[in-house]
Structure 1
């Protein structure tokens, strides 16, 4: 056997992640299988023989692993996670969707649209805080907003590690996303702005008062940096 001492926690995590997420090889289509069998068949083979080979080849193909099949038969969860994850899109497309929703189209309600109509108990909660601290389910009849037992990990798109140059094309989007994430609002057109000049002016006015970027402290710093010492023995928060 090929044995190797593992001296790094990172190597162990990579090894486990690789095999835990390894999928079965995709089987060939029925047409491809039949074509392979026909090409490999002898001229004296009967149609029945060819059909039997075809059926046997179908049975031996495996698209789902034995472990996954076992979980599915026992109705067990295929994924176990210690934290809840939520993706938050704060691009200008959010405004487009909200405008169509307000015009009574059949588009589903977005999270930003739900936040704009959240109960009065969340009046002092920003969009990012609500996503991190509360779960929202429109199908719940009584309490659509519920406080999470454990804060969620919020994946914000787009993410700006640092403010872009003011003259750049990305600066307006940066101001727009910052206002959505950290400013209390119930009407985007009035409190955030729709034009480039409005958005930038509102952001400058808002940022001048100072605010805490929860996204930086809760998400970025919660993850170990890429150049971290692999031999560090400090416990890391489980974030599968």
Structure 2
């Protein structure tokens, strides 16, 4: 490319990407900008300043996040190359035949971003200029083939929690709570389960139906996004006790357990199940 073409491309990228801090000396706002909905923003310029300084600055480099050793015995370096050099003007240059765009910068720790995307997303973003086709192919291939790390065992999770430490008399209770939270938030997914989810297949099939009966005062209410058999609106449904009160005269002498196992509720009516298809009833508590 000639000088004019380079300048035109640079100007184009400058209109999309920036690494400039609109107010380096801005005072931290009382409310975190991520907690403000776009519809509640009163001043978009002030909002932009607060977002850049709160979510777009790479302020701390830590071994557990970005600090990596250049070699096994070498010094630690931020893998995102922060802090970065200040630039008065943006540059577009070719190195070893590959073009690269670097936006102008007045803050060594501001991440590249697009103002519109940042204020809509309201959290950290990273925007890069596409200047090389092969780099895009490599990027897509890398993330498409990237394997997930193995989930930690209960012993490993619990050891990490204990090392972090909870002080005082609540140490045991809080540690167990954290263990339960950690154990249900992450788990390994098998290749078979992944394919079932992608193809929309049921994860399991059963020759029997299951019916839950709760005897507590705070009755269970069906909460589901699947259309219920009684055509109720999404997320609503009658409890088994409410349905039992609506049984037909020939069912008057049947107990709640018998009704749940031998009859099914369909289209606002009880229908008898086939003799060999009685439901498995689970009673709580």
Q: Report the TM-score when normalising by structure 2.
A: 0.31
Structure of larger gyration radius: 2
Identify the structure with the greater helix proportion.
Answer: 1
User: Bigger relative contact order, structure 1 or 2, given CA contacts below 8 A and separation 6+?
Assistant: 1
Identify the structure with the greater strand proportion.
Answer: 2
